Amino acid sequence: MSKPVEGFNQKSSEGAPEEPKSSSRLSLTRFTRAKKSNQVSSGAPEEDTFDPSVHKSKPSRSSSLQKYFTSRRATEVFGSQKNTISLNVRRAEMKRARRSAILTRVGIAFAAVLLVTVVVWAVFFSPFFALTASKIKISGLNEDVTAEVVEEKLAGFVDVPLPRISMNAARSEVESIAQVDAAEITRAWPDGLNVKITVRTPMAAEKSDEGYNVIDREGVVLRSSSDVPESLPIVEVKIESQEQRAAAVARVATVKDELPAELSQQITVYTAYPTSVEMRTLDGRIIKWGDESDSQLKAQVLKLLLDQRPAQVYDVSTPARPVTS
């Protein structure tokens, strides 16, 4: 086996001309085109070949369209960059306006609550409307009911604001005075009361252990006296029960009201029984009246009898059949 001659190989290799790089690229291109033409002529399916230079130089059509329509849509919706900045400013202004409106509403609500609180305190708890003792005006007084007695009953309401004073409670306090029949109380702003009372009217005097008690038509004791009260008749109640006693005294008051004035002045003592009334005149004559029914007719019959038929006892309990003895 023969060995290659080193000098010859080196010479041939060194002496051979260098093939340019472009020739290899050109050969590859020609080969690819020839292969495509053979495939077309033979009817074989064309194979996909990747040409870096081609793909690199031609951008994707879909990506270009997407970029175009995206930028166009953004411009249509938001406008130019200048319009976009203006829109952001407008949004910030609207946000500040909403915040300002909320703060305004909160401030108004707080001010309203504060105002209501101040008004409630001023009216119901402050001394501006507190009742002053010197501003209590009382009318309808007599010798049985004095201003001092009424003011004492209302002392618990002094220094209390008028809106907090119950007129019913104040009226009950005044009407608890025995000599007061009724009371009417109204507020006198800002710090007073107007009190109008109706006192009980003395009707007769009732004998007691200490002397005499002046009573009204309901049997309420108005005052006491050691002597017989002037211009008042005496009432003797022959009843133990307190409930029946009040009804008997009321019956006497009804009979007294029905008597003519000239006859009423002659009566000195009324005696009340459970169902009837008797009277005694100044000269000691007895009148049996019965109950309070037909009082006007009884008064007419009694007047005729006193004028025409002198007697010690006159019984007109049945006015159609009077009896004298």
**CA 313/CA 280 separation, integer angstroms:** 10
The answer as to whether 178 is a domain residue is yes
Give dist(CA 273, CA 176) in Å, integer. 29
256-313 confidence digits (pLDDT tens): 988 888 888 889 999 999 889 999 999 999 999 999 889 889 989 998 998 888 999 9
C-alpha distances in Å from residue 324, one per residue of 178, 298, 301, 305: 41, 14, 12, 8
Give domain status of residue 3, yes or no. no
Model pLDDT, residue 225: 87
Of 156, 171, 199, the one marking the end of a domain is 199
* pLDDT digits 0-9 by tens, 232-247: 999 998 887 877 888 8
38 assigned to some structural domain: no
Residues 114 and 226 reside in one and the same domain: no
Question: What is the structure's pLDDT at 263?
Answer: 87
Query: Which of 71-85, 100-114, 155-169 shows the lowest mean pLDDT across its residues?
Result: 71-85
Q: Give per-residue pLDDT as tens, 160-177.
A: 999 999 999 999 999 999
Lowest-confidence region among 38-47, 101-110, 196-205:
38-47
Q: Which two tokens stand for residue 89?
A: 């400013």
pLDDT higher than 60, residue 81: no
Confidence of residue 127 (pLDDT cuts 50, 70, 90): confident
Statement: the pTM of the whole predicted model exceeds 0.85: no
CATH number of the domain bearing residue 151: 3.10.20.310
Tokens found for residue 152: 């004492």
If asked whether residues 150 and 235 sit together in one domain, one would say no
Q: Is residue 64 part of a domain?
A: no
pLDDT grade for 29, boundaries at 50, 70 and 90: low
Mean pLDDT to the nearest integer, 73-91: 64
Residues 145 and 94 in one domain: no
**CA neighbor of 131 nearest in space, from 176, 188, 191:** 191
Enter the tokens of residue 118: 């101040």
Q: Who has greater pLDDT, 45 or 122?
A: 122
Q: What percent of the chain has pLDDT over 90?
A: 41
Which one-letter DSSP state was computed for residue 178? Answer: T
Measured distance CA(277)–CA(271) in Å, rounded? 6
Task: Write down which residue in 175, 199, 223 finishes a domain.
Answer: 199
**Nearest to residue 220, comparing CAs of 198, 189, 242, 236?**
242
Strands 277-281 and 204-207: unpaired
DSSP states along 235-285: EEE----HHHHHHHHHHHHHHHHHS-HHHHTTEEEEEE-SS-EEEEETT--
Burial of 179 (0-12, 13-18, 19+ CB in 10 A): buried
5 inside domain: no
The boundaries of the domain holding residue 229 are: 204-324
In a domain, 175, yes or no: yes
282 and 208, same domain (yes or no): yes
| DSSP code for 223 | E
Q: 174, 199, 224: which is the final residue of a domain?
A: 199
* Same domain flag for 173 and 271: no
Specify the number of domains making up the chain.
3
Asked if residue 108 and residue 141 are part of one domain, the reply reads: no
By percentage, how much of the chain surpasses pLDDT 70? 74
Same domain, yes or no: 221 and 317: yes
Same domain, 151 and 114: no
Is 298 within the bounds of a domain? yes
Tell whether 186 and 242 lie within a shared domain. no
- What CA–CA distance (Å, rounded) separates 42 from 101? 83
pLDDT tens per residue, range 190-233: 999 999 999 999 999 998 888 999 999 988 999 888 888 888 99
Query: Are residues 195 and 229 part of one domain?
Result: no
Quote the CA–CA distance of 229 and 237 in Å, as a whole number. 17
Please tell me whether residues 176 and 262 are part of one structural domain.
no
pLDDT of residue 64: 58
Instruction: Return the SS3 of 196.
Output: strand
Average pLDDT score over residue span 129-151: 93
Average pLDDT for the chain: 80
Q: What is the mean pLDDT of residues 21-45?
A: 51
pLDDT of residue 72: 54
Residue 157: its pLDDT value, please? Answer: 95
Are 236 and 258 contained in the same domain? yes
Domain of residue 235, CATH code: 3.40.50.11690
Q: What is the SS3 assignment for 283?
A: coil
